[in-house]
Structure 1
Amino acid sequence: MNKIPLLLRIVLAIGLGIAAGLIVPESFIEVFATFTGLFSNFLGFVIPLIIIGFIAPGIASMGKGAGRMLGLTAGLAYTSTIAAGLLAFITAKNLYPVVLSGQSSQSLSNPEDSLIEAPFTLDMTPIMGIMAALIFSFILGVGISTLKGNTLFNVLDEFRSIIQKLIEHVIIPLLPFHIFGVFANMTYAGQVGTILSVFAKVFVMIIALHLIYLLGVYTFAGSLHRANPFQMLKKMVPAYFTALGTQSSAAAIPVTLKHVKKVGVKERVADFAVPLLANVHLAGSTITITSCAMAVLFMQGSSIGFGEIFPFILMLGITMVSAPGVPGGAVMTAVGLLESMLGFGPAMVSLMIALYLAQDSFGTAANVTGDGAITTIVNRLVKNRLKEPKTAQAKQKIG
């Protein structure tokens, strides 16, 4: 089962869930609802642990970096991520009332009320709330970055490895079954037609936004280097397709490094910036999460404004720092914010996860390709402060 790509597993889960919802009796739906209820409760328990496991060591490791270049690279990555989120918000705010007109129904105004309830559930109270976990992670991360020793950092790094294995070997493998149960339940409740129609339109919009974002960031990078942005993008195509296939920014690092250097970035800058950006620059994922979140809210008849979405995007850019290099890592770290800041319930979270994972590989590809543009911008801004040996690579010019 694990040899089947995650995207295909998600598509199969949705298709089989719809088929099951059309033919099975209510007693079977209750069985599926029991599993999805237990899984949702388990996910709620794990979310604070995911936040601590990734954000604290992520911030701590950034604090151990190379001073000015670290701050510049991280600052550009965060700015790019926030800009991408705002692009998604503005587009969705203006397009959804048109392209999704008539697909917000009263039956979806409170999704939990219309679904078949599980005959029993098991309470799994999280060890702390979402905001408490975020604050605790920031305190730990910043505090550890100021310490000379590595003991506590090593403990947190090992804890991150545990959480990453939990996601890779438990949560991700069970997600297709969870999505199967959710779609079987929604089909039985008569909601699936609207949802699938929204899925298709949102998917097309997100891919278009990824391309618009990449063209914008490469146009800016090209203007700094007086280079053709299309030629720069062309050289980064192998990195895009590597990320598209692996669904992991970390797995694409060797290819990204190779082709960023072909663009003409100094070796020292590339070797520092690319691995860092693979963890802290998630513009494509932010576009996907913001677009999907607004689609789910639109389906339930909710309206959200700039004052509500902007703090969410600001926090999203931080919580995804050092998200695991596994499919679905970004949305896993975002679930807590969806619940605490946008008021998502279990059914809405399940829809959000299904929407996101169906497009995860494209978001990752946009992240990785965007890393190339940010790296060239860093290269330009620190150009006069770095002295490297006069190798053929160092002499190569942008474009």
Structure 2
Amino acid sequence: MFSALTRLSLVSRILIAIILGALVAFAYPQAATYVSLLGDLFIKALKSVAPILVFVLVLASIANFNVSHGAKNLKPIMSLYVIGMLLAAFSAVFASIMFPSTLVLAIDPATHLQAPEHVADIMKNLLLSFISNPVTALSEANFIGILAWAVGLGIALRHSSESTKLVINDISDAVNHIIRVVIQFAPIGIFGLVVVTFADSGLETLKNYIQLIAVLVGTMLFVALIINPILVAIVMRQNPYPLVLTCLKESGITAFFTRSSAANIPVNIELAKRLGVNETISAVSIPLGAAINMAGAAVTITILTLAAVNTLDMQVSLTTMLILSVLAVITACGSSGVAGGSLLLIPVACSLFAIPTDIAMQVVAIGMVISVIQDSAETALNSSTDVLFTAAVELAKK
């Protein structure tokens, strides 16, 4: 039985864990006392690995960033990537305002958090976090400081020797390997979390998760069917939907089931070739998009962070939410290539509101529970947008 389970995909194992957890919670609620350790260990593992993950991945991606080949032709595609991610994050903010979601979190009743009231306070906190000592930032999980040091060192190391960059890549691969190991234990951790959550809150939890999934997927559909077509129409000056629907059908559906933008690169390159895109451009823009074009991740980070803010009853201004959008876009570009990688960057966004790491990691764990649908939809949006924007810019020239 164990051998058969290990051969199943991660999605299938998470589904089984959720079903078993719900059955155990309703049939034997007292079991929550015994299995709560499983969820605690999983959250602790995420909390331990997240700071070093953010640091190494962002450092490696910037140090090895190179678009020297056809840089002039890539500029409009890169611009679309950035604009598309920003508009996706803004859409997530307005979706969260219109359909506010809450989460079921284990919070000390005495906990009272207050979001910064003014933009000046936000900028002050950001600047103070930026100049934090790197060792302190890692030890205290100060994700803003971690991000600042990763970007700074990444820019400095862009001019380092190839052997140094090779070492950085090896370290990045090693950290990714650890993340994959941790995520492989996700079904066990999620089983413990589901038992405890359902035993404590019952069907109310399921209601919250259904609404959260609806907001996430609805926002991603809005980006795919409204925002992206508008951008493509501006570039091509013609009806964008034939191209949009082709990319969603031939790239998005494949990415939905593979749940990996990297694994979908050959599909996108082949599609771009059939659409008449210059192979020299698509060979660079599509792999680059798989690494940094993360509109779906920006949506996920923004909505889950604001759901945590709502749960903690923190009053946040629209200006602060828009600042969160920009931060979500920046962090989304450093998403890990593993399934659910964007979820591990939620603590970076939560740090903008001074939300403790313990609570942020609970949000990550909830994201793992709904990742069966969320991560598939996110990857479909990310990957189909890579080939869509590349094709739009290239076909507009013709």
Matches within 5 A, 1:327-338: 327-338=339-350
Instruction: Choose which of 105, 130, 134 in structure 1 pairs with 2:147.
Output: 134
Aligned partner of 1:175 in structure 2 is 186
Matches within 5 A, 1:1-399: 1-24=5-28, 26=30, 28-63=31-66, 65-66=68-69, 67-69=71-73, 72-96=76-100, 111-113=106-108, 127=139, 129=141, 130-147=143-160, 149-168=161-180, 170-189=181-200, 191-215=201-225, 216-236=227-247, 237-339=249-351, 341=353, 343=355, 345=359, 346-379=361-394, 383=397
Aligned pair in 2 of structure 1 residues 25, 210: CA closer, same or farther (>3 Å)?
closer
Q: Which amino acid aligns with 2:154?
A: G
Aligned pair in 2 of structure 1 residues 225, 64: CA closer, same or farther (>3 Å)?
closer
Q: Is the 8 A contact 2:198 2:205 kept in 1?
A: no
Shift in Å, 1:299: 4.2
**CA distance in 2 between partners of 1:192 and 1:55 (Å):** 39
Q: Is the 8 A contact 2:224 2:381 kept in 1?
A: yes
Q: Which amino acid aligns with 1:354?
A: V
**CA distance in 2 between partners of 1:349 and 1:221 (Å):** 33
**CA distance in 2 between partners of 1:368 and 1:184 (Å):** 34
Q: Which amino acid aligns with 1:133?
A: I
Q: Which amino acid aligns with 1:367?
A: N
**CA distance in 2 between partners of 1:294 and 1:369 (Å):** 26
Cα distance per residue 1:194-234 (max 9 Å; x no partner): 22112222323332322221222133213422343221023
Cα distance per residue 1:303-350 (max 9 Å; x no partner): 433233333322222223253322111112333433564615143332
**CA distance in 2 between partners of 1:292 and 1:154 (Å):** 35
Q: Is the 8 A contact 2:256 2:377 kept in 1?
A: yes
Q: Is the 8 A contact 1:328 1:357 kept in 2?
A: no
SS at match of 1:62: coil
Aligned pair in 2 of structure 1 residues 311, 233: CA closer, same or farther (>3 Å)?
same
Shift in Å, 1:74: 3.6
**CA distance in 2 between partners of 1:180 and 1:111 (Å):** 16
Aligned pair in 2 of structure 1 residues 4, 293: CA closer, same or farther (>3 Å)?
farther
Q: Is the 8 A contact 1:64 1:145 kept in 2?
A: no
Q: Report how many aligned residue pairs link the two structures.
A: 360
Uncovered stretches (5+) of structure 1, i.e. residues with no partner: 115-124, 384-396
Q: Is the 8 A contact 1:111 1:348 kept in 2?
A: no
**CA distance in 2 between partners of 1:308 and 1:38 (Å):** 33
SS at match of 1:264: coil
Aligned pair in 2 of structure 1 residues 202, 342: CA closer, same or farther (>3 Å)?
farther
Q: Is the 8 A contact 2:276 2:395 kept in 1?
A: no
Q: Which amino acid aligns with 1:111?
A: A
Aligned partner of 1:392 in structure 2 is none
SS at match of 1:323: coil
**CA distance in 2 between partners of 1:60 and 1:376 (Å):** 28
SS at match of 2:261: coil
Q: Structure 1 length as normaliser, TM-score?
A: 0.81
Aligned pair in 2 of structure 1 residues 65, 159: CA closer, same or farther (>3 Å)?
farther
Shift in Å, 1:70: 5.1
**CA distance in 1 between partners of 2:74 and 2:385 (Å):** 17
Aligned pair in 2 of structure 1 residues 202, 211: CA closer, same or farther (>3 Å)?
same
Aligned pair in 2 of structure 1 residues 29, 198: CA closer, same or farther (>3 Å)?
closer
Q: Which amino acid aligns with 2:274?
A: K
**CA distance in 1 between partners of 2:190 and 2:315 (Å):** 25
Aligned pair in 2 of structure 1 residues 327, 288: CA closer, same or farther (>3 Å)?
same
Q: Is the 8 A contact 1:182 1:347 kept in 2?
A: no
